[in-house]
Amino acid sequence: MGFLDKLFGKKEVSIQSNSDFWNWFLEHEKEFFKIVQEGNNIHKGFLNKISPKLEELHDGFFYLTGMFDKQTAELILTPDGNIRNIYVIEELINAAPVIEGWRFTALKQASDIKDLVFKYENFQFNAENIKFYPNIHKSFPDEIDLTIVYDDFVEDKRASITNGIYLFLDNYLGELHSVTLIDNLRVIGKNEISEELIPIEKLKDYLIWREKEFVEKYEGIRHNTENDSYAGFEAKGKDSGVLIGIINTDVLGWDKKASHPWILSVEILFDGTKNNGMPDDKTYKMLSEIEDELMIDLKDCDGYLNIGRETTSNKRKIYFACKEFRKPPKVLDATIKKYHGTTEIDYEIYKDKYWQSFSHYEQN
């Protein structure tokens, strides 16, 4: 068998599951450990080798590596702020075997702010030159809206500075808290201050307090949609075509919207050229089947509310308000895989505590 391997080359292992990846990693871990320990050719010898294997599992992996201590190499997997990939990374890391000399970490972890100093595009970020204050909105009391004040702010470098602030918060708060606890964030300079400044090292305690208050306020709250009323809407779409919406008007009038702060927006493309952009009978049946399957997996009693759907030229959108953000992407990834080659499906999941995405329906 060894002779045949040399003659024809070893067959490349296909990565179809988390266990496939870790079995492959185990075969190379000593070589990888040596590369990380020596600090030479880490990209070529390690990261560039695990990258295509991770891509076989799921797209959107980013990684950091280095020596955690003298005896332990660490591999950190991160979605780089992409909410929909958090569950993928957490499940992969949870499936990791115990390998002597290795530490595997899901998402960037929190750091001691006293040790946190770094440069990004010629700007330095640290606890001394960053302050904050919260913006309180009476109409949206649960919203965590922050203004970050950076001492060295330059308007024409706003994008770079904002990216630097996000990186600073990822490392200070930990990536999970940074991307899930803050609803809105704006970066300004000292000349735009409108409130009393708070040292940035107090932000973590502020967020923990607000999150604890939020969880206690909405813990256990569910909405049963079985007897809800639905209304049809028709309007002119952006492309001048017709937009037809069917929306759960009862749930839109609910006064506990913030209990389901994550919005899942599912987009399904279809060919409606023979029916003025609208689905024909066969397509309509398929679209209904997909929505029914999603509702089986994303039940209202479990914290997933079907708000409604919109159909416009060659496109259907289905909306859910969700209690949490991990299960919906997992369900949609499986749905995309199931219908691959039949129809094109994509989705996004984002924070919208007061469902402002649907305010135009409430006004109507």
Q: What is the pLDDT of residues 100-155, one digit of tens each?
A: 999 999 999 999 999 899 899 999 999 999 999 999 999 999 999 999 999 999 99
Report pLDDT for 362: 77
Q: Report CA-CA distances (Å) from 137 to 29, 141, 145, 167, 208.
A: 52, 6, 9, 26, 19
Q: Is the pLDDT of residue 240 over 70?
A: no
Domain ranges in the chain are: 2-106, 113-218, 230-363
Handedness of CA 154, 155, 157, 160 (dihedral sign): positive
pTM of the model: 0.92
Q: How confident is the model at residue 331 (pLDDT cuts 50, 70, 90)?
A: very high
Q: Is the pLDDT of residue 10 over 60?
A: no
Q: Is the pLDDT of residue 238 over 90?
A: no
Give the pLDDT confidence score for residue 201 in this predicted structure: 97
- For residue 239, the model assigns a pLDDT of 66
pLDDT for 7 equals 47
pLDDT, residue 97, reads 98
Using a pLDDT cut of 90, give the percent of the chain over it: 89
Average of pLDDT values for 231-244?
81
β-partners of residue 74 are 66, 103
Among 86, 83, 73, which Cα is nearest to 47's?
Answer: 73
Place of tokens 């000593």: 30
Place of tokens 């450990």: 33
pLDDT averaged over every residue in the chain: 94
CA distance 177 to 196: 24
pLDDT number for residue 4: 47
Q: 262-301 pLDDT, tens per residue?
A: 999 999 999 998 898 999 999 999 999 999 999 999 999 9
CATH architecture of 230-363: 2-Layer Sandwich (3.30)
Q: What is the pLDDT of residues 172-204, one digit of tens each?
A: 999 999 999 999 999 999 999 989 999 999 999
* Token pair recorded at residue 66: 């280095």
First to last CA, the chain: 72
Beta bridge partners of 102: 73
At residue 183, the pLDDT reads 96
| pLDDT interval class at 236 (50, 70, 90) | confident
Read out DSSP for 198-235? Answer: EEGGGHHHHHHHHHHHHHHHHTT-----TT--EEEEEE
* Tens of pLDDT, residues 276-285: 899 999 999 9
